[in-house]
Structure 1
Amino acid sequence: MGIKLLVSQLTRKHGTNNPFTIAAKKNILVLFEPLGGMMGYFNTYKRIPMIHINSDLDYTEQLYTCAHELGHAILHRNINTPFLRRHTLLSIEKIEREANQLAVELLIPDKLLIEGASIYDAASMCGVPAEVAYLKQPPSKRLK
Structure 2
Amino acid sequence: MDVRRHVYQLIRKFKTDDPFRLADHLNIIIMYGDLGGKYGNYLKYKKSKFIIIDDVRTPAHLLPFVCAHELGHAICTSKDNTQWLKTYTMSINADKVEHTANQFAVELLLNDEYLADHADMSLYTIARLRGVPERFINLKCFKGHTLT
TM-score (norm. length: structure 2): 0.85
CA contact (8 A) 2:33 2:52 kept: yes
Instruction: Using the TM superposition, give the Cα deviation of residue 137 of structure 1 relative to its aligned residue in structure 2, in angstroms.
Output: 0.7
CA distance 1:79–1:112, change in 2 (3 Å): closer
| Residue 68 (structure 1) aligns with | 69
Distance 1:55 1:99 in 2: 20
Q: Residue type matched to 1:29 in 2?
A: I
Moved over 4 A (4+): none
Unaligned runs of 5+ in 1: none
CA contact (8 A) 1:107 1:128 kept: yes
Distance 1:117 1:78 in 2: 38
CA contact (8 A) 1:4 1:102 kept: yes
| Residue 54 (structure 2) aligns with | 54
Note if 1:138 corresponds to 2:142: yes
Q: Percent identity?
A: 37
Distance 2:85 2:36 in 1: 23
CA contact (8 A) 1:119 1:136 kept: no
CA distance 1:38–1:73, change in 2 (3 Å): same
Unaligned runs of 5+ in 2: none
Alpha-carbon RMSD: 1.8
Q: Residue type matched to 2:82 in 1?
A: T
